[in-house]
A and B are shown apart, each in its own frame.
Chain A
């Protein structure tokens, strides 16, 4: 079964700092990857997805991710975070089900 791993459990940043969250996937074939976000008290929302094509994927709220096949990576980035980006972020891969990483808690300090 396909799986993903996330490198950081908890990241603390100041507003306007840049954010990069690591995600590595296990499967060497065709993969379909996602980043989801869970804001405090809210449901999981899709930030962006990669199915094929341009490896640089742009999502909502200024987030982007780069699919690097040679590194089995799908890292999430945001150039300048805001306090409202405080949330838990999940990388996921889909085959017959969504398999999530352990999640990274991001705390943005004002």
Chain B
């Protein structure tokens, strides 16, 4: 069974631009969660989508948004990029929503660098 895939793996953008990251969950998984990983803040939850609906949201500004498609693939968008948005963005998929405490499987991440 293929794992969680994320594209692209690396991105370089400049301040003020926007970016879209993509995540394909494991086949059959309906929940996708997004996390931001930085050396200073560690791993922080961004949001979770289940059956095309945002179920939960972390403490990030509105510049961070996402969506989920009917095939469970998810995209995350960051608008008006800031230097502090440079991070590894991780996607995790699970069978059910996180509320049911299903194990989350992580993708390799997208390394975003904002110049």
User: What residue in chain B is nearest A90 (Cβ atoms)?
Assistant: B43
User: What residue in chain A is nearest B90 (Cβ atoms)?
Assistant: A44
B38 to chain A, nearest CB (A): 11
B9 to chain A, nearest CB (A): 11
SS class, residues of chain B in contact with chain A: strand
Interface residues on B, range: 20 to 34
A97-B48 in contact given A43-B109, A103-B42 (Cβ < 8 Å): yes
Q: Is A17 an interface residue (CB 8 A)?
A: no
Interface residues of B in 56-115 (CB under 8 A from A): 56, 58, 90, 92, 98-99, 101, 103-109
CA gap between A49 and B103 in the complex, in Å = 9
User: What residue in chain B is nearest A51 (Cβ atoms)?
Assistant: B101
A100-B42 in contact given A49-B103, A51-B101 (Cβ < 8 Å): yes
Please tell me if the beta carbons of B104 and A98 are within 8 angstroms of each other in the complex.
yes
Q: Is B13 an interface residue (CB 8 A)?
A: no
List the interface of chain B (C-beta within 8 A of A): 3-4, 33, 35, 42-45, 48, 55-56, 58, 90, 92, 98-99, 101, 103-109
List the interface of chain A (C-beta within 8 A of B): 32, 36, 42-46, 49, 51, 90, 94, 96-103
